[in-house]
Amino acid sequence: MRIPPAALIGLFFTALYFLMAIFAPLIAPYGMAEVVSNDIWLPPSSEFLLGTDNLGRDLLSRMIYGGRTTIFIATAATLISFTTGSILGFFAAVVGDWVDQALSRFVDLIMSIPSLILALVILSVTPITVGVLIVIMGFLDATRVFRLARAVAVDINVMDYVEAAKLRGEGRGWIIFREILPNALSPLVAEMGLRFIFMVLFISTLSFLGLGVQPPAADWGGIVKENAEGITYGIGAALYPAIAISTLAISVNLVADWVLNRTTSLKGGRG
Amino acid sequence: MSDNLLKVRGLKIGATVYPPGEKPHDIKIVHGVDCDLEKGKVLGLIGESGAGKSTIGLATMAYGRGGVELTGGEVWVNDRDILASAQGDIRSLRGGEVTYVSQSAAASFNPAKQIMEQVTEAAIGHGKFSKKEAEERAVTLFRKLGLPDPENIGKRYPHQVSGGQLQRCMTALALCPEPDLVVFDEPTTALDVTTQIDVLAAIKEAIRDTGVAALYITHDLAVVAQVSDDIMVLRHGNTVEYGTTDQIINAPQEEYTQALVSVRSIEHEEKQPTPEPLLTVQNITARYKGTKFDVLHDVTVDLHPGQTLAVVGESGSGKSTLARVITGLLPPRDGTINFAGRMLSKDLGNRTKEDLRELQMIYQMADVAMNPRQTVGTIIGRPLEFYFGLKGAEKRKRVIELLDEIEMGSEFIDRYPAELSGGQKQRVCIARALAAKPKLIICDEVTSALDPLVADGILKLLLQLQKIEDVAYLFITHDLATVKAIADSIAVMYQGKVQRYGSKSHVLTPPFDDYTDLLLSSVPEMKLGWLEDVIANRKMESAGN
């Protein structure tokens, strides 16, 4: 199998960020919230590779720990949104009738409200912990996954092999997990990459607005917020997390594109 | 040889394929084919799918479809080698000197434009006629092709005429620029049998009257025998036999051609009805959800154990709907279904596991009737596990037995559907149905998507399995030749009603009602001059007209 260069670049950076997230305590030169200098916003030096932040903490260490938080929350939320979204989507497609109507209209209702605003409203009345953040983000994003999963499953549901299974007397569990899921997996996996990026952007936005990860815990959106003021003084500390967010988004996108291409070529296209 | 309009020498065609998980590689589709066509003659190209017949047809326009490359040989049209010609020359050739009629007229016409505009487009575009001349010529062609209201039909949009009429419009489109050669690519395959005959007759007459030469591509030897002067039999991109129509039909030399000519010669002795029918469908009336139109009216038929009831009709006659009602997928509005001495619930959800097991179904498209992500072993094994609780080695043993029964070996057990040929796929579907040990199998157009020889094999297998397993078939088909081969009793359906019903000998013996007569006489026979006889003798216009 030949991997195109764009996908290779994507794979490299994605792997790099994930490894950094997993092994953060081993890699980071200092502690996450450890104040290492009396000077704030020190320029990069051999001691502090990316300089220090607005409270005199090592920026590189905060970046590494921040990546760990951001990637962990995004991954967990993506998993939640995928399991609930796709199972409900398949269920709606297979059962049809009023179940489908009820679920679909409910999802329309949620989707008609911009998810950021809805998230801000919910977070303003709930305690802000990582667990709550993951559940809220996962739940809001599940509506999008529901849409896709339902659309794919509706197409598969009318195939003769599904009809054959129904005529055999198979239950819904078999039809959803054995007949539909294996055939819906490729488009869903490709979509998963894109949803993950949205999750990264979503949690970063929330943190930037102050309703995401709470200090002193670090995450990329929060680091941008903490150091945003420095931009006025020509200090680039806020740019590093911004660059990290965008490179992660782009590289995951490149991988997702490649996966999607490969799956379409399985269906007879020329990817 | 100046009267030779088309001369093909050593034509080689290849393509690059992109199999999933493998490196792209080149394959050869046509391995050096020669043929000649004089002005005013018709050459029939015949073969099963993958024989390269359409590819050769398109090569006469110096065209290769989607990644297909003309790799070698010469194609001479009007004494010039078009494969070596410049792009500009090819432009004037396509749609000017050589035109093309495709299988699906519905997919080839632009739905947003009137028929006249599309029919005259090439003739005007190539500068052969002015707009007025082209339109006059089109009207003449419409008349010649037997289209109703030839002066005004051009003002209609493609969806406002029937399938058979649209196919004739496409023939008019091809003939309008006064081409020297027309390539007909399966022009009647997608049509109902009674419509096919009209289109066939119209095409034949138009070819004769305009003196154009034609390449007629089809998989149906009986059809090509009616229109062509010469026939070339192709297989896997090679010429099997090439001769006059008379010689090919009456004295085929090659074994493969002989098999094609003698296809559907299955003999089946009609069985006598038993005292107790297995299935009794009584006064069924049904319509689809949300519609106000009954697709089935008062349908009553019986099927006896171990026998075959053929339900015949054209598309839209309600024969597949009848199958959906019997399986419970479409609860009828009225009527009852008795099966094996008990009343079946109208709704699939209320049927017992035993009801479901004893009533199995085989589909037309074996491709989509099997989950592409399951192996043959899983597909055949699932009913064994589901109905009989077989597991592990026991299940595997039974799967292998079933594979033997359908004349495939145990080596297929771990293959995926994509790794099987069309005929093998249909065999696996048969094995899946048999695995449930059913009393009745509903066969919905099971041979329609297969090549004639493969279909023949499937029919023989079904008959043989009926003897071994004593299973009854409800055989839904539009193909009367199939019916003659395997049925014990026949129900002819027309517009949702049973038009004629009884034992095979009764239904196929005159006197006929008008529709049955039309249907029976429309089945192409492997004999010269059949088309003219039928057109001269029939009592009723075709349903699609």
Position B81 pLDDT exceeds 60? yes
Residues of A with Cβ-Cβ distance to B371 under 8 angstroms:
161, 178-179, 182-183
Torsion over CA of B506, B509, B513 and B514, rounded to 10 degrees?
140
CA–CA gap between residue B97 and residue B108 (Å, rounded): 20
Is residue B73 within a helix (H) or strand (E), and if so which, with residue range? strand B68-77
Residue B311: strand pairing partners: B476, B491
Position B530 pLDDT exceeds 90? no
- Residue of A1, A157, A168, A181 to mutate, interface with B, max B Cβ within 10 Å: A168
What is the DSSP code string of B189-234?
TTS-HHHHHHHHHHHHHHHHHHT-EEEEEES-HHHHHHH-SEEEEE
What CA–CA distances, in Å, run from A234 to A229, B183, B193?
9, 73, 81
Test A160 with B356 for CB contact under 8 angstroms: no
Q: Check whether the bond before A216 is cis (ω within 30° of 0).
A: yes
CA–CA gap between residue A132 and residue B458 (Å, rounded): 61
Mean pLDDT of chain B: 87
pLDDT in the model for residue A164: 92
Residue of A nearest to B444 (CA): A160
Q: Is the ipTM of this complex over 0.90?
A: no
Percent of chain B at pLDDT > 90 equals 32
Test A161 with B369 for CB contact under 8 angstroms: yes
| Residue B126 structure tokens | 């190539």
CA dihedral over B124, B129, B135, B141, signed as positive or negative: negative
Secondary structure percentages of chain B, helix, strand, coil, to 5: 40, 25, 35
Position B103 pLDDT exceeds 90? no
State the pLDDT confidence band at A269, using cuts at 50, 70 and 90: very low
A166 at B interface, C-beta within 8 A: yes
What CA–CA distances, in Å, run from A225 to A130, A206, A218, A245, B259?
18, 10, 11, 13, 80
Q: Which CATH class is domain B279-509?
A: alpha beta
Choose the closest CB to A182 out of B370, B373, B383.
B373
CA–CA gap between residue B46 and residue B465 (Å, rounded): 31
B412 at A interface, C-beta within 8 A: no
pLDDT in the model for residue A216: 85
What CA–CA distances, in Å, run from B187 to B165, B203, B348, B455?
12, 9, 40, 21
Is residue A259 within a helix (H) or strand (E), and if so which, with residue range? helix A239-266
Residues of A with Cβ-Cβ distance to B431 under 8 angstroms:
none
Residue written as token pair 């479901």: B356
What CA–CA distances, in Å, run from B213 to B6, B158, B174, B184, B255?
9, 27, 12, 11, 29
State the pLDDT confidence band at A202, using cuts at 50, 70 and 90: very high
pLDDT in the model for residue B19: 65
A102 at B interface, C-beta within 8 A: no
Count of Cβ atoms closer than 10 Å to residue A185 Cβ: 15
Torsion over CA of A163, A168, A171 and A174, rounded to 10 degrees?
-70
Q: What is the pLDDT of residues B518-528, one digit of tens each?
A: 888 888 877 77
Residue B303: strand pairing partners: B279
- Residue of A1, A3, A152, A160 to mutate, interface with B, max B Cβ within 10 Å: A160
* Residue in B180, B79, B75 with CA at minimum distance from that of residue B128: B180
Residues 6+ apart with CB under 8 A from B240: B47, B233, B234, B254, B256, B257
Query: B424 and B432 in contact (C-beta within 8 Å)?
Result: no
B370 at A interface, C-beta within 8 A: yes
- Residue of B25, B371, B386, B434 to mutate, interface with A, max A Cβ within 10 Å: B371
pLDDT in the model for residue A265: 47
Q: What is the pLDDT of residues A74-111, one digit of tens each?
A: 999 999 999 999 999 999 999 988 999 999 999 999 99
Q: Is B407 helix (H, G, I), strand (E, B) or coil?
A: coil
Q: Please report, for chain B, the start and end positions of each structural domain, with discontinuous segments joined by +.
A: 4-261, 279-509
A98 at B interface, C-beta within 8 A: no
Domains (ranges, CATH) in chain A? 5-23+56-266 (1.10.3720.10)
Query: B370 and B417 in contact (C-beta within 8 Å)?
Result: yes
Q: How many residues does chain B have?
A: 545
Interface subset of B 326-355, CB within 8 angstroms of A: 327-329, 348, 351, 353
**Amino acid (one-letter) located at B209:** D
A229 at B interface, C-beta within 8 A: no
Residue B490: strand pairing partners: B310, B502
Q: Distance, in angstroms, between A258 CA and closest chain B CA?
A: 14
CA–CA gap between residue A226 and residue A37 (Å, rounded): 17
Query: B206 and B99 in contact (C-beta within 8 Å)?
Result: no
Is residue B53 within a helix (H) or strand (E), and if so which, with residue range? helix B53-59
Considering the domain B4-261, what is its CATH architecture?
A: 3-Layer(aba) Sandwich (3.40)
Position B3 pLDDT exceeds 90? no
Residues 6+ apart with CB under 8 A from B223: B188, B196, B200, B524
| Residue B149 structure tokens | 């209201």
Mean pLDDT confidence for B143-172: 87
Q: Distance, in angstroms, between B371 CA and closest chain A CA?
A: 6
State the pLDDT confidence band at A1, using cuts at 50, 70 and 90: low
pLDDT in the model for residue B1: 44
Rg of chain B on CA atoms, in Å: 25
Q: What is the pLDDT of residues B209-230, one digit of tens each?
A: 888 899 999 888 888 888 899 9
A161 at B interface, C-beta within 8 A: yes
Position B111 pLDDT exceeds 50? yes
Is residue B505 within a helix (H) or strand (E), and if so which, with residue range? helix B504-507
Residues of B with Cβ-Cβ distance to A178 under 8 angstroms:
371, 374
Q: What is the pLDDT of residues A129-172, one digit of tens each?
A: 999 999 999 999 999 999 999 999 999 998 899 999 999 999 99
Q: How far is CA B182 from the centre of its chain?
A: 22
Test A266 with B20 for CB contact under 8 angstroms: yes
Q: Distance, in angstroms, between A267 CA and closest chain B CA?
A: 8
B4-261 and B279-509 have identical folds: yes
Position B23 pLDDT exceeds 80? no
Test A182 with B369 for CB contact under 8 angstroms: no
pLDDT in the model for residue A267: 42
pLDDT in the model for residue B539: 65
pLDDT in the model for residue B78: 86
Query: B9 and B56 in contact (C-beta within 8 Å)?
Result: no
B386 at A interface, C-beta within 8 A: yes
Residue written as token pair 């279909």: B455
| Residue A135 structure tokens | 């559940």
Q: What is the pLDDT of residues B324-345, one digit of tens each?
A: 999 998 999 999 999 988 899 9
Q: What is the pLDDT of residues B462-476, one digit of tens each?
A: 999 998 889 999 999
Query: A138 and A79 in contact (C-beta within 8 Å)?
Result: yes
State the pLDDT confidence band at B437, using cuts at 50, 70 and 90: very high
Residue of A nearest to B435 (CA): A168
Query: B177 and B143 in contact (C-beta within 8 Å)?
Result: no
Residues of A with Cβ-Cβ distance to B16 under 8 angstroms:
none
Q: What is the pLDDT of residues B356-413, one digit of tens each?
A: 999 999 998 888 899 988 999 999 999 999 999 998 899 999 999 999 988 888 888 9
A171 at B interface, C-beta within 8 A: no
HSE-up (13 A, CA, CB side) for residue B18: 14
Q: Distance, in angstroms, between A94 CA and closest chain B CA?
A: 14
- Residue of A97, A152, A161, A175 to mutate, interface with B, max B Cβ within 10 Å: A161
State the pLDDT confidence band at B104, using cuts at 50, 70 and 90: confident
Test A164 with B369 for CB contact under 8 angstroms: yes
Q: Distance, in angstroms, between A91 CA and closest chain B CA?
A: 17
pLDDT in the model for residue B22: 66
CA–CA gap between residue B231 and residue A221 (Å, rounded): 74
